[in-house]
Amino acid sequence: MATEEHIPILGLKEFQLNDGDHHDFLYHEIRGKRVIEKPHKHDFFLFLLFEKGSGTHTIDFVDHKITNHQIHLLFPNQVHKWVLGKDTSAFQVMISRNVFENLSASLRFSFALYQHHPVIPLPQQLFETLLYEFDAIQKELFLKPVNTAIVNLRSRIIAQLVSREAEGKFEDMVIYDANPLLYKFLNLIDAHLREQKSVAFYAAQLNISANYLNILCRKHLHVPATYIIHNRVVLEAKRLVHATDKSLKEISFELGFNDPAYFSNFFKAQTGLSPRQFRDQL
């Protein structure tokens, strides 16, 4: 059974190598083989830039193949683990939750969109540009005192460059950008998924009818609005089942299900496994 003891939530301080390390930004390099067999969560945001690499990075229960010239985005509370090959050469910029919330607008799109596309392949020129910014952040963090404004600015530049590349690679990024109602719909689900799961509620928040919200989702995303809501609820359920020692009854109530049996049936209908089977297999 997965427990909080086995799958901790790690803060920036867990990765500080020196007492003088900045408490809002950290820079690390990864060289060679690394393995995280037991998943964990962070309470901070992470840019992970691969110069070279092989292996697998599992983010929110989806395996992503690691190749040369990629950037991986990891948001607070996402569950992840990895197996990195011996040829790995990568660079991490870690940003505290509070600071990230202030600069997150630079990513332009909803966190939910990036959580669907956490791994972005990079052309050579963009990789070199990002590597320059990572290196500049490293050098600034080495100085005492650190000029936080400069690190903030370079982090925003990275976010803007990543956003532009993602928009060019992933069709749904463009769809949401061109349809503000769908973009707002995603953000509303993030804010209310534990209390509200009906299309009617979200349509009312958007000042449109439930039928029109369904039309928008089917036309642009090729799925009904209910699918978008349920998919997000299941992801949150997986995180809680996997990364906490809460009982399944507690989790069902936390997610707004008054009947644990209904929650179990809902989870199995979406994943093919009961919550208990999902927990036991990990």
Q: What is the pLDDT of residues 146-202, one digit of tens each?
A: 999 999 999 999 999 998 898 878 776 677 777 889 989 988 998 999 999 999 999
- Strand-pairing partners, residue 84, are 34, 55
Q: How many angstroms separate the CA atoms of 217 and 226, rounded?
A: 9
pLDDT of residue 282: 63
Residue 71: what pLDDT?
Answer: 97
Which of the residue ranges 44-58, 202-216, 228-242 would you say has the lowest mean pLDDT?
Answer: 228-242
Give the strand pairing for 79-84 and 62-65: unpaired
The predicted model scores a pTM of 0.81
More confident residue, 36 or 57: 57
Q: Which has the higher per-residue pLDDT, 253 or 106?
A: 253
What pLDDT is attached to residue 230? Answer: 95
Location of structure tokens 């500049």: 136
Quick: pLDDT tens for 230-243.
999 998 999 888 87
Residues of the chain with CATH 1.10.10.60: 179-281
Q: Is the separation of the CB atoms in 251 and 242 below 8 Å?
A: no
Residue 33 contacts residue 22 (beta carbons within 8 Å): no
Confidence of residue 7 (pLDDT cuts 50, 70, 90): low
Contacts of 140 (CB under 8 A, 6+ apart): 146, 147, 150, 151, 154
Q: Which fold has domain 9-169?
A: Jelly Rolls (2.60.120)
| CATH class of the domain whose range is 179-281 | mainly alpha
Q: What is the pLDDT of residue 3?
A: 40
pLDDT-derived band at 1 (thresholds 50, 70, 90) equals very low
What is the pLDDT of the chain when averaged over all its residues? 88
Q: What is the mean pLDDT of residues 17-33?
A: 85
Tokens 């962070």 belong to 42
| Coil, helix or strand at residue 95 | strand
Counting every residue written for the chain, the total comes to 282
CATH 2.60.120.280 segments of the chain? 9-169
Residue of higher predicted confidence among 172 and 70: 70
- More confident site: 26 or 20: 26
Task: Give residue 108's pLDDT.
Answer: 65
Residue pair 23/98 in contact by the 8 Å Cβ criterion: no
- The pLDDT value recorded for residue 5 is 41
Secondary structure (3-state) at 147? coil
Instruction: Give the tokens for residue 132.
Output: 């320059």
Burial of 192 (0-12, 13-18, 19+ CB in 10 A): middle
| Residue-level pLDDT at 98 | 86
Beta bridge partners of 36: 82
* Rounded Cα–Cα distance for residues 29 and 83 (Å): 16
